[in-house]
Chains A and B, each alone.
Chain A
Amino acid sequence: MDLSFTPEEERFRAELRTWLADSIPPRWRSRSFWSALGEAEAFELRRDWERRKYDAGFAGISWPREYGGRGGTSGMQAIYDEETQRAGAPHTVNALGLAFLAPTVMAIGTDEQKRDIIAPMLRNEVIWCQGFSEPGAGSDLAALRTCGVQDGDEFVVNGQKVWTTNAVYADRIFALVRTEPGSRRHNGISMLLIDMHSDGVEARPLRQMSGASEFGEVFFTDVRVKATDCLGGVGNGWATAMRLLSFERGASGIAQYTAFRRQFDEIVAVAGTFGRTGDPVLRQQLASRIVELECLRYHSMHVLTQVERGEELGAGSSLTKLQWSETHQDLWETFDDLLGPEATLTRPRPDTDLQAMHHEAMWSRSVTIWGGSSQVQRNIVAERVLGLPR
């Protein structure tokens, strides 16, 4: 056991901490600051901060330098994940592009795609969204029906995507499209990189149960896409998508731990306000949340160890997802329990504004759905890790 980082990694931490302290105004750390902004305004503020982060050399931490990254270690990436959360840094506006598309392009993209996609994404000049889910294809992604018919050196795309994060802000979408007419299930699918500003693309915001509109739906009507804007080969989209999703394994859970541990302290502070910190039952509940959060932290160190040793995580990433998402949900249920009859009130007292915390509590209902629902993750763990029969 050796839980330390290298001296070089610790120097990186110190440098990053300094930059974060200088670039993040204290008022950004408060939930009410962000909830008071309009969504579009908040998006632009985050985008601008992230651009400055790129200029300061803190984008693409573990990406190779040739792609504009920092060329750092996976340990530095973990430090980055931890420190940005600790500092209350704004969330990236290009989450799906950075986490999924970019590493896939680096691995299997053409030279043109590498040149045209990665650097502009890192500078946030191009915002990406992901077009996988459809009204009839949620957990069962292979049921997707959006189709692309080849016409010369172009595809003509028709169909609909839904639950698309950043749909209304995105410049481009990486979308799974059925390009072989009549194909079924995992066959005949291609991953097309589509300009959201093309004729025939319409993005509409979807209002979530929290009231926010972080995601939306995207309609394609005779949208023309160059055949060269296909990632990983025509008809090879399923394999490309699986490869793309495998990059989720880079997510060790340390970012979630750090964020949720702060949320725990916020919840404890509210419990203090309501004089509930001495309640033995509530204390047991809060302690259970800490037990699961600490387990997530240990687990993230274990995952980082595996990544550093080049081990395949494979289906193991389903454990990470289950642990953090279920724990997040339980944490916010404890928040409800401590409020009791006040659980739905945004201002249970004149001097107590809980709106932003309630928003997080609502958001917790989504985390066990997106990115593979808990039920899908349990199937994966049961069949691929435990080896139970299908």
Chain B
Amino acid sequence: MYFALTDEQRALGVTVRDYLEDRFDLKAVRAVFEDAEGNGHPAELWKAVGDQGWAAVLVPEEHGGLGLGLVDAQVVARAFGAGVVPGPWLPTVLAGEAVRLAGSDEQKASLLPRVAAGSLVATVALRGPAGRYDPSGVQVSADSSGRLTGSALPVEYAEVADAVVVAATEPAGGAEPAGGAEPAGGAEPEREVGLYLVDPRSPGVTVSRLDSYDGTVRTASVVLDGVGAERLPGSSTAVLTELFDRAAVLTAADLVGLARQALSRTVAYDTDRVQFGRPVGSFQALKHHLADLHVAVTMAEHAVLYAAHALDVGLADRRLAVAVAKSKAGDTAREVTATMIQYHGGIGYTWEHDSHFFYKRAKREVYSYGDPIQHRERVAALTIDTPTTSG
């Protein structure tokens, strides 16, 4: 039994955290946050992502990557969450995963080395306005010749992306006669979904910045009007579901990273802040709540680690594990970041204090790739409707 990070995985986390501490601290985050017109994509940070191989974690070695798993990737995601770091790391990694899972050999050979090197910024557009983060939420459709029409939002860093992986519903029989049918495992899905590579500079693509309270990243809407696209031949509804699960785990990792950091900062502040002649952290009203949050963050960390491992090795309960991790991380991060503001008192509600970076980033991510309600419903379906009796 070994339920923990390896020394190498720990070292990776230390490397990312050390870099951020030295070169991209909260002052740098603030500069991005307050530069509302800027693209939110600091060049020096992205160069480090490429140089250090942080975007290469999930890329197979044959394509110039590190060939590691989600357990390793979640180490990076946690560190980025802890630093409320801007930049297109997550969407680029997810686009790489789409290509790795469903791309042709040529597509892999063309795109994955550039993902690994950080020379390509990519993103994913998998869900339409007000849709769910599952195949039913797709609001782009492909016609029989593979042209895409519809819209997706929020799409992270679409403005600076060189490539967008778009999910689109397909006419019965598939958009392209070639490619082959992907049996999704028995039951006939209501509609098949495919994944397509889109060049955002193609005619018919409109990318519009979305004004968002979370200034730690930039998001946009992507509207497609008969846009030519390249299908990922191995894509299917099942692959999209797998991609959503991977996105959910990495988002949960970002959430637990930022929740842990928000908790540590709150504990540090309440240890020093004196009112009524004593540190406010000595009052049990705060202590007991902070202790509960420590338990919650610890459990969320375990859940993310387990879910990442479950997807890496294909454990039977991986879908349940993902739903547990994302709902737990979301609920926990929301409460911890709200508490961060509350337990900093008046200063915590000011613009000049950093608490709102954590709160706002958490607020976005709680709802990204399935909110706690959606994931709990998934848990219910997996445990109530199909009881996995332990006896």
Q: Contact at A2–B1, with CB atoms within 8 Å?
A: yes
Give the distance in Å from the alpha carbon of A390 to the alpha carbon of B281 in the complex: 8
A3 neighbours in B (Cβ, 8 Å): 1-3, 309
Q: B interface, by DSSP: helix, strand, loop or mixed?
A: helix
CB < 8 Å neighbour of B282 from A4, A268, A388: A388
Q: Contact at A298–B1, with CB atoms within 8 Å?
A: no
A304 neighbours in B (Cβ, 8 Å): 1, 3
Give the distance in Å from the alpha carbon of A234 to the alpha carbon of B365 in the complex: 58
CB < 8 Å neighbour of B391 from A29, A78, A377: A29
Give the distance in Å from the alpha carbon of A275 to the alpha carbon of B343 in the complex: 44
A114 within 8 Å of B (CB atoms):
no
User: Which of B15-23, B221-229, B297-305 interfaces with chain A?
Assistant: B297-305
Q: A interface, by DSSP: helix, strand, loop or mixed?
A: helix
A277 neighbours in B (Cβ, 8 Å): 384-385
B68 within 8 Å of A (CB atoms):
no
B side interface size, CB within 8 A = 47
Q: Contact at A305–B2, with CB atoms within 8 Å?
A: yes
Q: Quick one: which of A240-299 are within 8 Å of B by CB? A: 258, 261-262, 264-265, 268, 271, 277, 280, 283-284, 286-288, 290-292, 294-296, 298-299
B2 neighbours in A (Cβ, 8 Å): 1-3, 305
Q: Quick one: which of B284-332 are within 8 Å of A by CB? A: 284, 286-288, 290-292, 294-295, 298-300, 302-303, 305-306, 309, 312, 320-321, 324, 327-328
Given contacts A298-B305, A388-B270, A388-B282, are A258 and B390 in contact (CB under 8 A)? yes
User: Which of A39-47, A343-351, A379-387 interfaces with chain B?
Assistant: A379-387
A86 within 8 Å of B (CB atoms):
yes
Given contacts A301-B3, A386-B294, are A286 and B380 in contact (CB under 8 A)? yes
**Least Cβ–Cβ distance between B389 and chain A, in angstroms:** 5
A side interface size, CB within 8 A = 54
A379 neighbours in B (Cβ, 8 Å): 284, 287-288, 291
CB < 8 Å neighbour of A295 from B4, B267, B303, B376: B303
**Least Cβ–Cβ distance between A285 and chain B, in angstroms:** 9
B306 neighbours in A (Cβ, 8 Å): 294, 298, 301
Q: Contact at B384–A286, with CB atoms within 8 Å?
A: yes
12 A-B pairs within 8 Å (CB atoms) are namely: A1-B3, A86-B391, A265-B391, A287-B327, A291-B379, A295-B299, A304-B3, A305-B2, A322-B295, A377-B291, A381-B295, A389-B278
| Other 4 A-B pairs with CB < 8 A, given A261-B390, A287-B377, A389-B278 | A284-B377, A382-B287, A386-B267, A388-B267
